[in-house]
Structure 1
Amino acid sequence: MALDRWIAFVILCVSVVYAYAAFFTMDQLLPPFMQRNPIWPSTFPKVLSIMAIAASLIIVLGLEKAPDSDKEPDIDYRRLGDYELIPALTLLGLMVAYALLLRPAGFLLATSGFLIIGAVVLGERKLHILIPVACVATGFVWYLVEEVLGIFLRPLPFFF
């Protein structure tokens, strides 16, 4: 089985566990007044799990490929050294660092840093465009979450 099917199989297993949690464990502790609502807190996880199961099943069963394609697979797991692993692993590490720095560094600093460093890792070299765009986008998202949705996000580090 090709590498893409193995990855889809792992996603399928995770999605089945997520679907079980969404359908059978999330709604049991709802207060009575919320049980009459048409949309519950578990509605989005239910839809997301069904979509993930469907997409991963399509890949595992090979339905996305044309029946006459006998060429070699797009990703050859025996030649992983030929791919750009350093930027991919750097982005994964950057995502972990972003998650860990979100509270202590604040949303604005952590998110703009993640966007700028991530774009540089991916090859962007026009810093005079990148830095203002990342900062404006971060500020816009913070404004929407804070003011429009009413969800508090610490904008700056805790010592300010």
Structure 2
Amino acid sequence: MSLDRWIALVLLSICLLYGYTAWFTMDANLAPFMQRKPVWPSSFPKILSVLAIILCLVILLGLEKGEQTVGEIDYRRLTDYRLGQAILMLALMVAYALCLRPMGFLGSTTAFLVLGSFILGERKWHVMLPVSLLTAGIVWYLVQEILGIFLRPLPFFLGN
């Protein structure tokens, strides 16, 4: 079995567990007034689990493959791929999660976007910095002001 099918099998097991949680355990503790609403807090996880299970099954059954076999990953030759970039991006994601509270959303998100684009090969700093700052600011505004979810924009020592 190829690497993509093994990954799909692992994802399928995770999606089945997620779907079981969404369908059977999330709604058990709902307040009575919430049970009469058409959309429950578990509605999106239910939809997401069903779609993910369908996509995993498509990969497992090989329905996505046509005549093209050029793009398959050969797990015996992993050193031929850009593993350095992938590992650096994973490390950057972990660092972003750890720096989110101390640095604030705007600083950590801007740094993540700039460093991530640098790792992936972008070298135009005059483009990376404004785009990263603008993106972080827009996302913060949408989450904080539109959705009403508090995100600390600045480092903890600069504000409440």
Instruction: Give the TM interval when normalised to the shorter protein.
Output: over 0.9
1:24 aligns with 2:58: no
Partner of 1:103: 101
How large is the RMSD of aligned CA atoms in angstroms?
Answer: 1.2
Give how far 1:4 is off: 0.6
User: Residues 151 and 76 (structure 1 numbering): CA distance in 2 closer, same or farther, change over 3 Å?
Assistant: same
Deviations 1:114-148 (A, max 9, x none): 10000000000001111011001100111111111
Equivalent residue, structure 2, for 1:91: 89
What is the CA-CA distance between 1:99 and the residue it aligns to? Answer: 1.1
- The answer for the alignment partner of 2:41 in structure 1 is 41
Q: Give 2:63's aligned amino acid.
A: L
Identity across aligned pairs (percent)? Answer: 59
CA contact (8 A) 1:111 1:138 kept: yes
Cα distance per residue 1:74-117 (max 9 Å; x no partner): 10000000000000011011111111111121100111111000
Distance 1:123 1:137 in 2: 19
Give the AA of the match of 2:48. Answer: L
2: distance between equivalents of 1:49 and 1:131? 37
TM-score normalised to structure 1 length: 0.95
Q: How many residues are paired up?
A: 158
Unaligned runs of 5+ in 2: none
Structure 2 CA distance for aligned equivalents of residues 127 and 46 of structure 1: 42
SS at match of 2:41: coil
Q: Distance in 2 between matches of 1:70 and 1:57?
A: 19
Q: Which runs of 5+ in 1 are unaligned?
A: none
CA 120–34 in structure 1, closer or farther in 2 if over 3 Å, else same: same
Counterpart of 1:4? Answer: 4
Deviation at 1:53, TM superposition (A): 0.3
If the length of structure 2 is used for normalisation, what is the TM-score?
0.95
Query: Distance between the aligned counterparts of 2:31 and 2:86, measured in 1?
Result: 44
| Alignment-mate amino acid for residue 140 of structure 1 | I
Alignment of 1:3-152 (within 5 A): 3-66=3-66, 69=67, 71=69, 74-152=72-150
Letter of the 2:109 partner, please give it.
Answer: T
Shift of residue 72 of structure 1?
6.4
Contact 1:27 1:42 in 2 (8 A): yes
The SS at the match of 1:29 is coil
Query: Bigger CA drift: 96-105 or 112-121?
Result: 96-105
